[in-house]
Structures are given as structure tokens and as C-alpha cells.
Amino acid sequence: MLVGYMRVSKADGSQVTDLQRDALRAAGIEPQHLYEDAASGKREDRPGLAACLKALRDADTLVVWKLDRLGRDLRHLVNTVHDLNSRGIGFKVLTGHGASLDTTTPNGKLVFSIFAALAEFERELIVERTKAGIAAARARGRCGGRPYKMTTTRLRLAMAAMGQPETQVNALCAELGITRQTLYRHLAPDGSLRPDGRKLLNQRTPNITAI
């Protein structure tokens, strides 16, 4: 059975699915087997697509007018088609870029394998660039992530205060601008150092902070 999916980006009525509907109907898809959304392709919460994918069964074929009607990006498209293939469902594109893609044919399977290779290549490039960026930042003394609350100065003040029986932990945390969780990660209730506290004090640069 052929099942069609249509999508337009805007839900304000300025875009319609008539062209897509006509093409899918001409491809032999019955009206009751057409699903549609009025939402950006970047959105994951598309009820029409969700219902379409749920309705597909083994040996069915999902048909779209153009490739970009289905997915947000190449990786999303590849993952979606992989999931379809694992369920025994074919995928076919009628026109535009990817019009040769029909996973029910040997040629279409070849085209899809190229798409999958490109998606993997894109993923590896992103990972490589991310790692290179982190390494370059660390080499310049910069670390990513949220600024840490506990500093060596705050830690030494907390050590001194925690050794006093009259110290109120909540008041101490408010004064230092840290949470109880951060305090007790670095210090024991008697003010002795815990591993995170020792690690912080052993750092060469006093103003480098740690959680």
C-alpha cells in the first residue's frame, strides 16, 4: 500500500498542500492514506507525520512530493528512512532533489546509501571540529561550561567558618553565594577537605574554580 505525507511550513493559510496532494494522488495514493502537517520541518512534534509513521505497515511505501517535506536535515532523513527500512517499509520521492530515491528498487537503495554516507561524514566533521575547538580553547586556558561557584578564596573562608560551632550552614552559603550541595561537595561538616576541595586547592592557578 502507498501512503503519502505532505507538509507546508506555515499554518496561517498562506500555504496549501494542493500541489503536493495532486502529485501524490497521481502517484496512486488514495485520499484516506494521505497525511499532512502545517509546521516547520525543524519541528519534531508533527502530529501528521507521527500518525503517518504509525499507520505504515510491512511492505507499505511512504511517498513524499519532495525530500524536504519529510525531514529537518540530512541526518534526520537518513535516520527516518533507516527506521522505515528496518520495519520493511519503502520510501519514495516524486520530484526535486532526491527524486531518484526509491528504496524499493536497487537504484534507490544505492542512492540512499550515498545519502547515509554523507550524513555520517557530516557527523564526523562536526565531532572533529568540536574536539578541535575544545582543544584550542583549553590550550588558551579557557574551559567550557557554566562558571563554577566555589573558588579557592570561598573554600578557605568556608573551612574557617565550618570549624566554628556557631556557624549556620544556610547563612554561610548565602554569604558565599554557593549552595549547600556545593559546600558539602568540597567540605565535610567539620570543615575538613573532601576530594573536590583538595583538588581545588592543589590547582596551580588560584582563581581557577571547580564545582
Catalytic residues: 9
Measured between alpha carbons, how far is 184 from 180 in angstroms, rounded to an integer?
6
Q: Which residues contact 118 (CB under 8 A, 6 or more apart)?
A: 74
- C-alpha triplet 40, 44, 49: angle, nearest 5°: 85
Give the whole-angstrom CA distance, residue 108 versus residue 155. Answer: 63
Q: Which of 111, 34, 89, 42 is nearest to 65 (CA)?
A: 34
CB 198 within 8 A of CB 156: no
Grid coordinates of 13 = 493559510
